[in-house]
Structure 1
């Protein structure tokens, strides 16, 4: 099992809270007639992407409470904003103990300190939030105060030397000159802005 060492001792919990608050706002604005729309994440339409967002919160709760995400499906059966918001609140409570940040846990990509797992799921919330926003015609830029530290930590945790295309992201996409921080983070995760922005 690969072990990822903890990066700088930055607490990701406030950033994760902000990311999930932003995603809750996006989910509340999704209309029923948008569920079948495609998204920049080729695997999902709007409805299944919404279920994926809920599933990721369930997995970060399981990591805090059980030490592993294995018992929770990455795709939830629900796709609504209220379920996401309820689980996001539970996740904040599950991660309240500071000791969890440096405790070894098992994320889907391997063993790492808790804070690294939480940074990974913060990145997932922001990138899938961007996917959801552009697919449904909502403002797609989260607060840069959330995005910029997440981007910094992702590049620290997964430097180019160890990043393999498709694991866990697609090939890096060069951002547009006018791309904002969230779009750039999505491009770094392999999302193309072409035809979406």
Structure 2
């Protein structure tokens, strides 16, 4: 994705996918482990919703560093509504096309708004895979979104730059014929 492309359509498609996945989650599944080893499914949902609010805050002119991570403390059945509210906020915050070229203070530094939204495409698509893995239902994930997310990941997260402040483990090896979702997860250091 170049700086000239508008990442919002892909981001909103990624949120569509997340909403469908979250609709499948029942309260008895919230304590399941996820491929993000530090998060249960409940904690991952808090991270996801918090990340959407963080992107909205950045679109509103705020700095990502000012947003404290979500704790995931919601009633068990409140996650779909929380995700919908976060989505409405982020759509409103990024509705103005001019914001795509405006300097934006993302978690990884000052970048054009389009680059900030593009980074969150990668995040939303990757966490969709995480949620799908935790559910174990064989939910069909969007291959085109995964290709976009993988291209972003390979561009902004080279294999050599891992550890320290980069919150991703080393790239994992996968079979040459692995599907794009598995390749994305492996590139971001998930055990696959």
TM-score (norm 1): 0.86
Structure-to-structure mapping, 1:97-136, within 5 angstroms: 97-136=96-135
* 1:20-48 deviation line (CA, Å, top 9, x unaligned): 11011111111111111111101100111
Report the equivalent of 1:3: none
Report the equivalent of 2:48: 53
SS in 2 for 1:70: helix
Report the equivalent of 2:39: 44
Q: Does the 8 A contact of 2:3 with 2:115 survive in 1?
A: no
Runs of 5+ in structure 1 lacking a partner?
Answer: 1-5
TM-score (norm 2): 0.88
Q: In terms of mean alpha carbon deviation, does 120-129 or 139-148 score higher?
A: 139-148
Report the equivalent of 1:164: 162
Shift of 1:141: 4.8
Task: Give every structure 1 segment of 4 or more consecutive aligned residues whose post-TM-superposition deviation is greater than 4 Å.
Answer: none
Q: Does the 8 A contact of 2:63 with 2:104 survive in 1?
A: yes
Following the alignment from structure 1 to structure 2, what is the Cα–Cα distance between the partners of residues 61 and 111? Answer: 16
Runs of 5+ in structure 2 lacking a partner?
Answer: none
Q: Does the 8 A contact of 2:159 with 2:170 survive in 1?
A: no
SS in 2 for 1:66: coil
Following the alignment from structure 1 to structure 2, what is the Cα–Cα distance between the partners of residues 11 and 138? Answer: 32
Q: Does 1:35 align with 2:30?
A: yes
Shift of 1:108: 1.4
Q: Does the 8 A contact of 1:27 with 1:80 survive in 2?
A: yes
Corresponding pairs, count: 187
Superposition CA RMSD, Å? 1.9
